[in-house]
Structure 1
Amino acid sequence: MDKTQDQTAEARNRVIESANRLGVELNEQELERWMNSITEATGDSDIVVDKKTGVFGHKVSMLDFDPKDLERFRAIGKIVEFDDVPGLVETALALSGSAAQSKVQTHPGDCDYFERVNIIAPTRTEACQTLARIMREKAINSRLGPNFQLIELKFGSYPQDIIRNDSLCHKGSPIAWLPEEVVASKIEGTDSEGNPLVITWDYVADDPGWCKLDWVVADPVRGQLANASNMLDVTWEAPDGTIVPLDGYLDGYFQEVYLDAESAPIFDKLVKQVSTDVMDDYVAQLQKEVKKYFQPDKANYGKAAKRLYNIFRLSGQYEEAAFLRELFDEPAALLYQVHALVRTVQEATEQGTTFDVDNILDQTDELIMSVIKVLEGEEELEIVRYLLRLSRSISRNEPGTTLGSEVEAARSEVMKIVNNFFYEKMTALPAIKAYIDSLHN
């Protein structure tokens, strides 16, 4: 055994000891595979291509992707992806978030996608106009289908404060468009004095900002409802070959797994424009998010744990990353998926006519069984009680009814348990607690 192997073995033994001490179940064979692989993930290129499946991504990201889910993700990807337009629009679709880490996160919350969209145009204005057109066309064409429904689309920023549906939306914040508003190409509301106010699609097109689309889909492989999103990183390619991100920042590539080898040339062209500080910028952004999710009013220690895992695996803190990796496979982590799926059930019921009520009730039954599987005692009784109320509300009403109180009560109780689990386990490991503390100093 060389020095590196000795160090890896010692780190692995410390992870096993910590997991046993804290009551965390782990798969020692998988732990050994991952730690050996990540310490050996070196070479001239950061990008790894799986020749068998055609997927590719950063060498560290590829270690966490399980190709057994590829058929499922490609099927949902057909719903959310943008089409190439020869000579005008080039795209590269990837999985991101927990969907790209299926070897780690066996209970992912949503199906998250990330798509690089490069628009070739004489001017930035024309690139923005093209983006506005293809986003509106995508929203309208994928508004409703046999197994999907568009929920909302983010495009542009509010040019001034506006009150929509009794909620104040601040100037400069991203605009969330409902499908019918996209069709109408306008949002109606009032200003602070109660005067009518209209914001049009074309008016905000020159500054598209954060671009993202969200659907509820009937998962064609697993046969259950899921939230699917596609976040766009849009660039303009000028006639001289210069590439400019339309939101001012070209995203890194450390958490994406790209689904089609044919998009590799587009990916290669775009990532060459990425800043040399992109890794540091990415880690710094994750650190900000960890701090945010540790704030009492935004507490979400499951999301904090996911971001800490990405920080540690990219920063060479493999022992801490390996420990966090095991938490995502714990029974309590299944409740994180329950938290996300309760929202999916709500959206499918309140906004949809696409999904059969019996299918939604089946999904609710699965949520109840998941809670029973994980919990016991008063915690189990409390959450199951809320979910049963939710089920009764769905069965008694037509789609389009509002389920706010039942849904929020169930989600709140689930989140309390998820938060307690991740906080207790993370802060019990001295190295992770010290890192978290350092972010708040």
Structure 2
Amino acid sequence: MRIAMIGTGYVGLVSGACFSEFGVDVVCVDKDAAKIEGLHANRMPIYEPGLDALVADNVKGGRLSFTTDLKSAVSGADAVFIAVGTPSRRGDGHADLSYVYDAAREIAQSLTGYTVVVTKSTVPVGTGREVERIIRETRPDADFDVVSNPEFLREGSAINDFMRPDRVVIGAETDRARAVMKQLYRVLYLIETPIVFTSLETSELIKYAANTFLAAKITFINEIADLCEAVGADVHDVARGIGLDGRIGKKFLHPGPGYGGSCFPKDTLALVRTARDKGAPLRIIETVVAINDERKRKMADKVVAACAGSVEGKSIAVLGLTFKPNTDDMRDSPSLEIIPALQKAGASIRAFDPEGMEEARHMFSGVTFCENAYETLQSADAMVVLTEWNEFRALDFERVKSLLRAPILVDLRNIYNPADMVAAGFQYVSIGRPTPKA
């Protein structure tokens, strides 16, 4: 089979590389010539563990290629995937679908023979129908079906998520379209991966419902963490106690400074807007969005409180800038709220992230970026952990203490044991856990 993948961002590049690993002939298309040139040289535009090797292997095997020529890629393809960005639109929170609709018009002009046009981007309910209308209007003679096939890729483990998914969701409404999609996912079908066939609208809603439910779960445990601090309970014990209930499950019950990234913030906003427009408001998710925004700001207050109520004139060492480890993604990261709030309170910021530094330099002003964790801590008045990178878990804490002006450690990811930190001589603050007395 032969497919075209329109867009070489996170979803398009990972999906295209993984399909080629399944033995499919994949052409990835992007208008950004510099990005395509980089991919020809095996320079990845994103950081994802194992992606460079996967791309290199399949390019060498002749199954994966890159181009700026959409027409040549689409012509003769069995399926064309739309995997372009759908960022939150400024002002109203709706998903910006302009890139999706522009891609649909270009695809329509290049179709030859029966083709399945697949929306892989996360799109609101009704987008597939509009894509179908656009293609039909642009090319009344085209022989095609529109399918929804949402992605469920977690940054940092996306390749495994594609190769061994919990499920594959396909919104397809003709036998021909279902047959093409079954063939594309034949490898997963053979290992008995659940493949859920639905209508277009149902498939589109499944993606949003999944992400907003997980965002609500994160927000729930964050609020429980606040209550734990107020009553002297341990949020990790609470999370384990409720997570062992099979109806609840243990995943996404880890407290932190709030969710971020490319999916949860924009998807919760988009679903809230869709629900309001349809007269069926989702008040739970509206509250989740508000609480998460507020939580990021409250984390800066937590750092200030740990520094005796003031960070004026103090140097704060920040470890981790990306919204989660194993990615260079800075989109809606808690650091984007916390660091400016600390600067506004009078602090100077020294920061380090293993993969997010290049992107972070464009997003912060007045921050001193360092080469490693220890350089970041040099002469700082407090250390703050914002992202739980593995390399931060095994620091030499005698050295850490010797570098800091004051042994203040604010752990917003709860990666250290409170008793160990107190025994090591730190004034330790975490989320939702009591700190034992020295």
Which protein is richer in strand relative to its size? 1
Which protein is richer in helix relative to its size? 1
Which structure has the greater CA radius of gyration?
Answer: 2
Give TM-score, length-normalised by structure 1: 0.30
Give TM-score, length-normalised by structure 2: 0.30
